[in-house]
Amino acid sequence: MPSPTQDAARRRQTIVATTLGNALEYFDFTVYGFLALIIGKLFFPAFDAYGQLLLAVGTFGVGFVMRPLGGIMIGAYADRAGRKKAMVLTIFLMALGCGLIAVAPTYAQIGVAAPILIVVARALQGFSAGGEFGASTTLLVEHSTPSGRGYMASWQFASQGLGVALAALVVAALSYGLTPQAMESWGWRVPFAIGLVIAPVGAYLRRHLEETLSEENRTPAATAPKAARRSAFSTVCREHGRTVLKAIVITMGGTGASYVVTFYMPTYAIRELGMSPAVALAGAALTGLLTFLLAPLVGRWTDRAGRKPLIIWARIALVVLVYPAFLWLKTSPTPIVLFTIVGGLTMVLAVQAVPSITILPEMFPERVRATGMSLVYGFGVAVFGGFAPLISTWLVNASGHKEAPSWYLVATALISLPALLYLKDRTGEALDQPGSPIPAPALAAAPQL
């Protein structure tokens, strides 16, 4: 029986290893979004500037189309063979997709095969990301105590911020240090090459984590019958279908805003507001760094105040603030306004994202937890998050209003609110023993809705 000191040390090791591994994966996956303008020009030159951007951000969304499939398959693997093995697998798949983009010939070199190769690489990255989220978040929450689950899960969101910040800083440094010609010739490949090289580091860290899937729920892949291999997915659909639908609606309310603020905003600032790439990417780096710093604090907060209150009030704040924010940015397109807006929206998003991430594994039992989480997050992010940059680009062009992306964010947030009212808040309950109360005084100050 491990001592409290040993348990605390094990949790710290889990946080460090999972956060660094996840950050590397998100670096690999998100750097594409920051290079959308250059990639559109090099791989879709037959179209005008708008068409190039639309196709580039559409290809960004292809990675999200594959997330549900990756979530189902890798999530089932995590529920059968273990969380750790699934996490190691995802980082190598992500690195493979990153490597394909790093060496991909452009349209001028091989014609239409070039964009096809990019689509294949993004699909592979999306497949990996779909399974990574469920496996890593499940590992974090299963290593936690009932009263500290929000804090442990918060490191999933913090790691995303760290990966985004690193990606933005690398692209910003290249944009600042290279001429536009050098950036288009070879500079854009450097971040993808970096992502390929650092993959073994993440794999090493993940291999040294302690497995949390219990022995009775673990089935060796070589001996598992075919029916057992698909049992996690079929069980989730058959026994938890209503939970999955409810969770997807809850996810949609925040994921669109996250991807617009984090990934689309640099492209929006450059193309629609005429800002320099360095300024736009500095805004993205600010978003990532704030996410990394704020997420653990919000994790502590949600462990005391509960999940539902923070999600609901943050969604309401998003509805109230996002349209005036875009309108202000449209009328005053300066760096200080950009930084103020992305900083403020990032704070709102952190308050709703951390409890949302925590609440997903709390909805499913251990034997299907990674599959259920991956399925919900994969579909929710694929439909409402991955194509948010594409929808935003189309809305701006179709309407002629530069504040148009805010319309989409307001709509998704409003649609998600009713589902939250029917959500059971399991803050403080033992993860696999529903009904166990949280030790006092952790919920003493919990607000009521």
**DSSP 8-state secondary structure symbol assigned to residue 433:** B
In DSSP notation, 192-218 reads: HHHHHHTHHHHHHHHHTSPP-S-GGG-
Q: What are phi and psi of 343, to 5 degrees?
A: -65, -45
- Burial degree of 47 (CB within 10 A; 0-12, 13-18, 19+): middle
Backbone φ and ψ of 423, nearest 5°: -85, 135
Q: Is the pLDDT of residue 209 over 70?
A: no
**pLDDT tier, 207 (very low <50, low <70, confident <90, very high otherwise):** low
How confident is the model at residue 138, as a pLDDT?
82
pLDDT of 221? 45
pLDDT at position 128 is 83
Please state the rounded mean pLDDT for residues 428-434.
Answer: 72
The average confidence (pLDDT) of the chain is 81
Q: Give the separation between CA 288 and CA 394, rounded to whole angstroms.
A: 25
Contact 364, 269 (CB under 8 A): no
How would you write 302-322 as a 3-class SS string? Answer: HHHHCHHHHHHHHHHHHHHHH
One-letter amino acid for residue 348 of the chain? V
Does residue 213 register a pLDDT over 80? no
CA distance 235 to 267: 41
User: Over the stretch 58-114, which tens digit does the pLDDT of each residue have?
Assistant: 776 677 778 788 878 887 788 787 777 787 788 888 888 888 999 999 988 998 888
What is the structure's pLDDT at 139? Answer: 80
Whether residue 449 has pLDDT greater than 80: no
The per-residue pLDDT for 60 is 66
Tens of pLDDT, residue by residue over 144-176, are 888 889 999 999 899 989 988 999 899 989 988
Tokens of 231: 């049992």
pLDDT tens digits, residue range 309-322?
A: 999 999 999 999 99
Q: By C-alpha distance, which of 406, 423, 405 is closest to 359? A: 423
- Summarize the confidence of residues 244-266 as an average pLDDT: 83
What was the pLDDT predicted at 222? Answer: 43
Residue 240 DSSP label? S
The H or E element spanning position 228 is helix 226-229
pLDDT tens digits, one per residue of 45-57:
877 776 777 777 6
For 136, other C-beta atoms within 10 Å of its C-beta total 31
* Residues 143, 152: Cα–Cα separation, whole Å: 8
Q: Give the pLDDT mean for 199-216.
A: 66
Query: CA nearest 24: which of 69, 78, 87?
Result: 87
Please report, rounded to a whole number, the percentage of residues in the chain having pLDDT higher than 70: 86
**Cβ pair 394, 54 in contact under 8 A:** yes
Over residues 291-307, the mean pLDDT reads 94
Q: What is the pLDDT of residues 105-141, one digit of tens each?
A: 998 899 888 888 988 888 888 888 877 777 778 888 8
Q: How confident is the model at residue 219 (pLDDT cuts 50, 70, 90)?
A: low
Q: Over the stretch 351-371, which tens digit does the pLDDT of each residue have?
A: 999 998 898 888 888 788 888
Cα 128 from Cα 229, distance rounded (Å): 19
pLDDT at 41: 85
Say what the pLDDT of residue 317 is.
Answer: 94
Query: How much of the chain, in percent, has pLDDT values that exceed 90?
Result: 22
- Residue 294's pLDDT is what? 95
CA separation, residue 213 to residues 120, 264, 310, 346 (Å): 32, 37, 29, 33
CA separation for the pair 41, 108 (Å, rounded): 11
- Highest mean pLDDT, choosing among 23-32, 48-57, 337-346: 337-346
In this predicted model, what pLDDT tens digit does every residue of 357-410 receive, in sequence order?
898 888 888 788 888 887 888 788 777 877 787 788 888 888 989 889 899 999
Let me know how long the chain is: 449
Question: Hey, what CATH class is 8-209+241-421 in?
Answer: mainly alpha
